[in-house]
Amino acid sequence: MPVPHRILILGNSGSGKTWLAQTLAHRLLSTAIELDTLHWLPGGFQQRRPPEAARSAVRDHALAEKWVIEGVFGWLAAEAIPRTQRLIWLVVPEEECVRNLESHPTKSGEDDASRSALFQWCREYRTRQNANAFAGHQGLYDQFTGEKHILASRQEIACFLSEFP
């Protein structure tokens, strides 16, 4: 079976999406694309890009032959689905995601209040009812007809990577 070169990774904030995307992109000699950079305007997490501009940017990136796109924004991830060859959904427990976020350095433009809001948003992953939460990701996963994986722990992620070419 040929190695998929267009991979979409979904999951909660702090679940390890960015790290996994960078690891897979490196192995594929490809590009890792964070939906955060397409959703937010440069300079932090205060201003959203206009929705159609963000969708268009995802579609443009998805036209490439090789990529790994990752993010929590299900409404944006949906734009890459038609070209996705493999979907990976990270369903790591929320408290582990929060611990991962706490261990990350503060990003540019991020203050204590925004970090605290991010931790709370992360904790609400399974209870929020939108495209950027468990239910939205479940819908994308269920509808996807290609190769797909649910990885629910660091051990499962490590095992997946050990079997990835």
* Among 36, 144, 127, residue whose Cα is nearest residue 89: 144
Q: Which has the higher per-residue pLDDT, 139 or 111?
A: 139
The pLDDT, as a whole number, for residue 127 is 97
List the chain domain ranges.
Answer: 6-163
**46-86 pLDDT per residue, tens:** 788 999 999 999 999 999 999 999 999 999 999 999 999 99
E-assigned strand segments in the chain:
6-11, 32-34, 67-71, 86-90, 147-151
pLDDT at residue 101 greater than cutoff 60: yes
Share of the chain above pLDDT 70, in %: 93
What pTM value is reported for the model? 0.93
Per-residue pLDDT band for 2 (boundaries 50, 70, 90) equals low
Q: What sign does the dihedral 71-1-145-91 (CA atoms) show?
A: negative
What the block records as the tokens of 102 is 């706490």
For the CA atoms of 134, 6, 84, 36, what is the dihedral angle to 10 degrees? 40
Q: What is the DSSP letter of 13?
A: T
Among the four given CATH numbers 1.10.645.10, 3.40.50.300, 3.30.1490.190, 3.40.50.1700, the one describing domain 6-163: 3.40.50.300
pLDDT at residue 38 greater than cutoff 60: yes
The pLDDT, as a whole number, for residue 109 is 62
Share of the chain above pLDDT 90, in %: 82
| Cβ contact 71:39 at 8 Å | yes
16's torsion region: left (phi>0), alpha (psi -120 to 50) or beta?
left
What the block records as the tokens of 94 is 């929320």
